[in-house]
Amino acid sequence: MADTSLRNRRQPTDEKSLPAPPSPKQDNKKVTSLHHRQEQQQKLAHRVTFVGLTILSFFVSFYKIWYPAEVVFDEVHFGKFAGYYLRRSYFFDVHPPLAKMMIAAVGYLIGYDGHFEFTNIGDNYIENNVPYVALRSLPATLNVLCVCLVYSIMKQSGYSLSICALTAGLMIFDNSLVGQHRLIMLDSMLIFFMLATVYCYIRFRKVRYQEFSSSWWIWLVATGVNMALTLSVKMVGLFLVATIGIAVLVDLWALFDIRRGLDMSHFMRHFYARAIALIIIPIAIYLFWFYVHFAILVESGPGDSFMSTHFKETLKNSATKMKSLEIHYYDNITLLHRDTDVYLHSHDLEYPLRYDDGRISSKGQQVVGTKEFDVNSWWQVLPTKDIDEQSEERVKVHHDDIIRLRHLETNTILLTHDVASPLLSTNEEITTVDPDTRYNETLFRLILEDSNNNDVWQTHLSPFKLLHMDTKVAVWTHDQALPDWGLGLQDVNGNKNTNEKSNFWVAQEIMGKNATEINMNKKQEIKSMLFLRKFLELQGRMLSHNAGLTKPHPYQSTPISWPFLVRGISYWSKNDTREQIYMTGNLIGWYLGIGSVAVYAGILLADTLARHRGIEPIDGPVRQRFLYNAGFFALLWLLHYGPFFLMGRALFLHHYLPAAVCNYMLLGAVLQFMLIDGIDSPVSDLQRNQEARVHRYNSIASYVQAIPSTKSFLAFGLILVCQIAMFLFLAPLTYGSPGLSVPQVLQHKIYSSWDLQYAK
């Protein structure tokens, strides 16, 4: 046996017969081949995962999209606006036009004529022959594409396949995104263009070393285009503009560093390129959609009343113009307050000499506001110039004229003076006096809104304010009623804040004249107006009315409560079947998301403190990826969330949705840092030009791929399973079916603050 083993031993070989050691070139070829195979396998895995998630997202988004076949929540507004586009009737909305035009375009392509008014939540689509499924399909399709974009953003940012899949999966099974994006609303368009902007900017950053190449320009311009499209959907697109702006400024600051070796002419090329792509092109695109908006909406419509006289005169078949007449001196007219819809009114009752708080009045004749028109609502326009009332040549009243107003029924003249008003001690009392007394205190300057000196005062078309010449207050009213001595009518007083928007009134009727009959015999002239004047007027109205949306709503909530889903929104309910749609997010994903913000901030703080003490706790490449890429997601979240704390208008949970999507991407970045060792590197092409670029797998150290551990897979699987379980639990509230019994409703009422229907 020993002999046999000895015989079987390898015998010494002649040195010449030994195989030659592999050359470095052969090593590199083997390594390159190995990495190439790994890359192809990785690409295939990404494709399969991407397609699978897209199909899954399509199923979740389109599941029972036909139900309910009734108007749901803000479909009241945006379905109606799409109809106005199709009928070419001018309307007013606080949001830019792009998303509404996209919905209208779908309607146009399928032959819908916009006949349905979307008047009330619960109105039946089928009975009114509305192609609502096709209209809902647009936001649902964009929701699917949003999932695709999130996956692609994480992939292009260098995150592992498991993180890309997890982040996209969390989005697919988010109840708020599914519920919101399968209805005729604007948020899916907003989030789609926001994510497209982020994707394009990341692609631009990846080719930053190939400066001014075709791919560099394509992704830079694409970033600007999508940023403009985001802003063209909703004004909150400004938050995205701010985020990209900050990122670009940081980039330019780095390029400006002398250690980068760029001379000033080279740096200015970078500056001008970004200015063109991210400022000039977006402004042009934003203006373009308003140009299309005005080109479509050429007919008079419900939005007329929000616009100036000049603007209204550019619209066809204006009902307001048909009711409008020019006002002349000695005409008897009625005056209606624009904001509260009350007539300027007086009667022979007097203010009490002493009010309940001890203040003293002038005991003059009451001037009040009333909803009901009667004989006490007529006022005669008197001139302050020498104009004969009996003259055949009637003199028109113009902007900036000084006038007096005589109350017909009591033959007294409108006056205000330095006496406190009944309800507001800071404002002046308005009363009337005999025609031959206190002349200077009865003079008012007529200020027409958005007008020039040659503009004539017209009924219905010319909102105006009356500025008192002596005390410089404006005639004003507000929705507070006087006590019993004032018959509960509305208080009218002199407002010291003459710039307040609610100072405006509108002349309604001229005694003895039928405006419609008179105008029927006249040829209606359609006037023109410069596009930029139209744009600036509409933009100003949009901003002011958006800020003025302060009226309380039963389902409004505060920004601090949004990440914790303290309160949702009741979108729709049906008493017969006890079905309802309640907009709320997936508690698993949202709580993990807000937790990731805290974790990111904590890691950043700990790393900063450690580095300050000369300790490097995180590898350089990992730290750079976590600081800059995850930091970009954190900045996106912060700037899409933080500004809402500064707003005074009524706010709702759905305003948080763009921030929630950004939070999911930050969560993915944080989970990669916590559960996966290392990173996929490099992500960017490192060579500065095409000629010098070589394959990145030219050495074993040139490419690093992070391999998730079994524990990380288990953690990701557990998170996704919990997300899906919560989604399915809340699905009856997301899809509106099936109906729930009282015990089931109470079971789904996770927070006592959730306003679920049929809980009793």
Q: Which two tokens stand for residue 262?
A: 């760029």
Res. 93: pLDDT tops 60: yes
Res. 630: pLDDT tops 80: yes
Residues 340 and 479: their CA atoms lie apart, in Å, by 7
Q: Which residue has the higher pLDDT, 473 or 20?
A: 473
Res. 10: pLDDT tops 50: no
Q: Which residue has the higher pLDDT, 726 or 12?
A: 726
Res. 689: pLDDT tops 80: no
Res. 350: pLDDT tops 90: yes
pLDDT (mean) for 350-370: 91
pLDDT (mean) for 170-197: 97
Lowest mean pLDDT among 328-342, 395-409, 451-465: 451-465
Segment 290-307, tens digit of pLDDT: 999 999 999 999 998 888
Q: For 339, which DSSP code?
A: T
Supply the pTM of this predicted model: 0.85
Res. 313: pLDDT tops 90: no
pLDDT (mean) for 222-242: 97
CB 541 within 8 A of CB 307: yes
pLDDT of amino acid 523: 75
Res. 5: pLDDT tops 50: no
Specify which residues 379 forms β-bridges with: 333, 407
Lowest mean pLDDT among 80-89, 450-459, 509-518: 450-459
pLDDT of amino acid 42: 83
Work out the angle at residue 597's Cα, subtended by the Cα atoms of residues 594 and 602, and round it to the nearest 5 degrees: 135
pLDDT of amino acid 553: 87
Percent above pLDDT 70 for the chain = 92
The domain ranges of the chain are: 42-186+571-748, 321-512
Segment 494-513, tens digit of pLDDT: 999 999 989 999 999 999 99
Res. 706: pLDDT tops 80: no
Res. 16: pLDDT tops 50: no
pLDDT of amino acid 597: 97
SS3 for 489-550 is CEEEEEECCCCCHHHCEEEEEECCCCHHHHHHCCCCCCCCCCHHHHHHHHHHHHHHHHHCCC
Res. 49: pLDDT tops 80: yes
Burial of 42 (0-12, 13-18, 19+ CB in 10 A): middle
Assign residue 487 a region (left: φ > 0; alpha: ψ between -120 and 50; beta: otherwise): left
pLDDT of amino acid 31: 56
Res. 152: pLDDT tops 90: yes
pLDDT-based confidence at residue 308 (cuts at 50, 70, 90): confident
Q: Which two tokens stand for residue 248?
A: 């670009």
pLDDT of amino acid 25: 57
pLDDT of amino acid 310: 83
Q: Which two tokens stand for residue 144?
A: 């699917």
Task: Give the closest residue to 698 by CA, choosing from 22, 25, 24, 28.
Answer: 28
pLDDT of amino acid 453: 67
pLDDT of amino acid 7: 39
Segment 396-451, tens digit of pLDDT: 999 999 999 999 999 999 999 999 999 998 999 999 999 989 999 999 999 998 77
Q: Which two tokens stand for residue 710?
A: 């079994």
Lowest mean pLDDT among 106-115, 156-165, 312-321: 312-321
Res. 490: pLDDT tops 80: yes
Q: Mean pLDDT: which of 366-375, 443-452, 544-553 is highest? A: 366-375
pLDDT of amino acid 305: 82
Burial 279-290 (b: 16+ CB within 10 A, else e): eebbeebbeebb
Rounded to 5 degrees, φ, ψ at 150 are -60, -45
pLDDT (mean) for 549-573: 93
Burial of 709 (0-12, 13-18, 19+ CB in 10 A): exposed
Task: Please give the CATH architecture assigned to the domain spanning 321-512.
Answer: Trefoil (2.80)
pLDDT-based confidence at residue 677 (cuts at 50, 70, 90): confident
pLDDT of amino acid 3: 46
Residue at 317: amino acid letter = N
pLDDT of amino acid 708: 81
Residues 444 and 466: their CA atoms lie apart, in Å, by 6
Res. 69: pLDDT tops 90: yes
pLDDT (mean) for 663-675: 95
First to last CA, the chain: 91
Task: Give the closest residue to 673 by CA, choosing from 640, 724, 629, 703.
Answer: 629
Residues 444 and 225: their CA atoms lie apart, in Å, by 51
Q: In the chain, how many H helices and how many E strands?
A: 22, 14
pLDDT-based confidence at residue 358 (cuts at 50, 70, 90): confident
- Residue 432 makes CB contacts below 8 A (sequence gap 6+) with 346, 364, 365, 367, 407, 410, 412, 413, 414, 415
Q: Which two tokens stand for residue 247?
A: 């990122």
Residues 506 and 327: their CA atoms lie apart, in Å, by 12
Helix (H, G, I), strand (E, B) or coil at 664: helix
Q: Which residue has the higher pLDDT, 642 or 676?
A: 642
Q: For 360, which DSSP code?
A: B
Res. 691: pLDDT tops 80: no
pLDDT of amino acid 113: 94
Res. 74: pLDDT tops 60: yes
pLDDT of amino acid 8: 43
